[in-house]
Structure 1
């Protein structure tokens, strides 16, 4: 996926997350379409529904199934900093992906040349290593194993393929397969 398209999708999804209320009954997909249009994103209800389903794999979101139309909202267990005035880029460029003292996992992944250029400017960790391959690069870095890592990996689309740890590779692969399957069945 081209970088501009990925960035537009991320911007839209971030705007969508900011529109979600903190409790049930939540907000419907149709209402979210209008709110997104108000902030400059002209999307269909189906796009909003797909985004919400994908984001709920990463973020603590809940769908109120008690009545139709369904309402989406943040889970009661959601971290407070995810809502309100939260600057995603500052968060990701900060230490969000850095391991806490004595913690972390070694991430090994094949990445696109475009992503490699970005990571040279904004490394994942202080011990990050980039190695040129015949096609793309391999990145090796010690990072925190949590939702920010998964969110970042998924946001890279086909620009990253996790090699290690194996459990993370399987988890990301399953999420992407499930997401792709939803595009096969309209």
Structure 2
């Protein structure tokens, strides 16, 4: 999927999430079409329904099936998350970037594809990519926390932690455990 199309989809889905009420009965897909048009997105009802179904797999959304048309809303457990979480602020804060004078010196092998993405969105100001015969060597100072581990694990076989050794072993144990669950 081209980058511009992906960005448009993400922007539309983020706008859609912002239109959802925090309680039942919720808002219908048809109403969401109009709300999205008001904020600059011209989409079909089917596109909104498809987006809602996809987003409900990731976010705590609920569909009120008690009457037709169905109403969509944030689940009761999402009030805390929705009330205090702003994706744009989160991305501006750069969750992997270490605070000045702190952090973990990460060294990893990354695929060419991941290197291209990292050039567009670097992990931090001191990030360096060095071309290898196959792939690239990544060096960066990053925060040593859960978001780093989620990001590392989310890269699959596009990344292999080289240093620090303790982090390499930790990620290796997690991946080995996950792989063992797929055997049988």
Q: TM-score, normalised by structure 2?
A: 0.60
Unaligned runs of 5+ in 2: 99-107, 160-170, 179-184
The match for 2:119 is: 117
- Listed one character per residue, the Cα deviations across residues 164-186 of structure 1 (whole Å, up to 9, x for unaligned) are 7676xx8xxxxxxxxxxxxxxxx
C-alpha distance in 1, partners of 2:7/2:81? 22
1:98–1:143 Cα contact (<8 Å) kept: no
| 1:79 Cα offset (Å) | 4.7
C-alpha distance in 2, partners of 1:29/1:144? 36
Instruction: Please identify runs of 4+ aligned residues in structure 1 that moved more than 2 A.
Output: 79-84, 86-90, 95-99, 107-114, 125-146, 161-167
Counterpart secondary structure, 1:57? coil
C-alpha distance in 1, partners of 2:147/2:53? 22
| 1:115 Cα offset (Å) | 1.5
The alignment's C-alpha RMSD in Å is 4.0
The match for 2:87 is: 88
Higher relative contact order (CA 8 A, sep 6+): 1
C-alpha distance in 1, partners of 2:66/2:21? 17
Unaligned runs of 5+ in 1: 100-106, 154-160, 171-186
The match for 2:42 is: 42
Q: TM-score, normalised by structure 1?
A: 0.60
Equivalence map 1:70-89=2 (5 Å): 70-83=70-83, 87-89=86-88
Larger radius of gyration, structure 1 or 2? 2
C-alpha distance in 1, partners of 2:69/2:77? 23
Equivalent pairs counted in the alignment come to: 150
